[in-house]
Amino acid sequence: MSPHTLSMRLERVAAHVPAGARLADIGSDHGYLPVALMRRGTITAAVAGEVASTPFHAAERTVRDNQLAQQISVRLADGLAAIEPGDGITAITICGMGGETIRDLLESGKARLSRRERLILQPNGGEPPLRHWLMGNGYRILCEELLRENRFDYEIIVAEYVGTVQYTAEQLYFGPLQMQARSAVFLAKWQRRLREKQKTLIHLGRARQAIPEEKEQELAQEVRWISELLACPTDSSVQPIDR
Ligand SMILES: C[S@@+](CC[C@H](N)C(=O)[O-])C[C@H]1O[C@@H](n2cnc3c(N)ncnc32)[C@H](O)[C@@H]1O
């Protein structure tokens, strides 16, 4: 991967960054995403935030090698602390981290959000708690994508602040729009997950060691939800409720 050839995952993230955006890419690593978007003329300015010094220096190098230091500020900072009030950020990407980590970065950096920026999030697992945070903080999910690359399932969640939005527990679990669209890749992912979870349940039933009752019930509920989802040819009951 390089700023010339992004992975398919980052290409799909890039597709959701609005033209003319001022982007904050948090956890930028080598800075490939903001540099690629700037080279293409998609964005007008960017901040590349990194908490760790090796990727921070790598991002600085990518920006320097592409003569983009005037347009892209690389900052060593924890999460949204990379964003400064004068940046006028209109889109934030946070990609390649667990959903819980992304949620924690959004929560701890809430004061840095103007609520006018588009959030483009690409969690590696842990999507339900992230969607829960979005709902709890008034962000409506505008678009969801699921893609498979190198045998991994990646989700992309695009959200914007609307004030109040309500999703059901199943919508938070599967993704409200994905549940509605029922794409082939979505159904294939949940077929795989169902098999894994059923195996785990059988294994737990056989193993004599006690696991917390709550954990087992949670797993059984997930198996029920997935089975219902896969059994149901179309589902018209999944519209988000805007208030
Ligand atoms: C797996 S890499 C993903 C890089 C890139 N965003 C991508 O999707 O290809 C995660 C990056 O996030 C950075 N990171 C983790 N926690 C962070 C935090 N609290 N603030 C800023 N960066 C963070 C790590 O140092 C690492 O470079």
What is the 241 CA–ligand 1 centroid distance (Å)? Answer: 33
Instruction: Please identify, by atom number, the ligand 1 atom nearest to the C-alpha of residue 28.
Output: 6
How remote is the CA of residue 187 from the centroid of ligand 1, in Å? 29
The number of the ligand 1 atom at minimal distance from the alpha carbon of 93 is: 6
DSSP structure string for 40-81: TT-EEEEEEEESSHHHHHHHHHHHHHTT-TTTEEEEE-SGGG
Span from the CA of 13 to the centroid of ligand 1 (angstroms): 15
Residues with CB under 6 A from ligand 1: 10, 26-29, 49-52, 55, 78-79, 95-97, 105
- Residue nearest (by alpha carbon) to ligand 1 atom 1: 96
Q: What is the SS3 assignment for 201?
A: helix
**Torsion angle (degrees, nearest 10) of CA 207, 209, 210, 215:** -50
Check residue 116 and give its pLDDT: 96
Return the pLDDT at 208: 60
**Residue 243, pLDDT score:** 40
CA distance 107 to 129: 12
Q: What is the pLDDT along the chain (243 residues), one digit of tens a residue?
A: 777 789 999 999 999 999 999 999 999 999 999 999 999 999 999 999 999 999 999 999 999 999 999 999 999 999 999 999 999 999 999 999 999 999 999 999 999 999 999 999 999 999 999 999 999 999 999 999 999 888 899 999 999 999 999 999 999 999 999 999 999 999 999 999 999 999 988 888 777 666 788 888 899 999 999 999 999 765 444 444 444
Domain 8-166 in CATH 3.50.50.60: no
Task: Please indicate, yes or no, whether the overall pTM of this predicted structure exceeds 0.85.
Answer: yes
Q: Tell me, what's the pLDDT at 100?
A: 98
**Nearest residue by C-alpha to atom 27 in ligand 1:** 29
CA 81 to ligand 1 center in whole angstroms: 14
Domain assignments of the chain as residue spans, ordered by start: 8-166, 184-237
pLDDT in the model for residue 201: 84
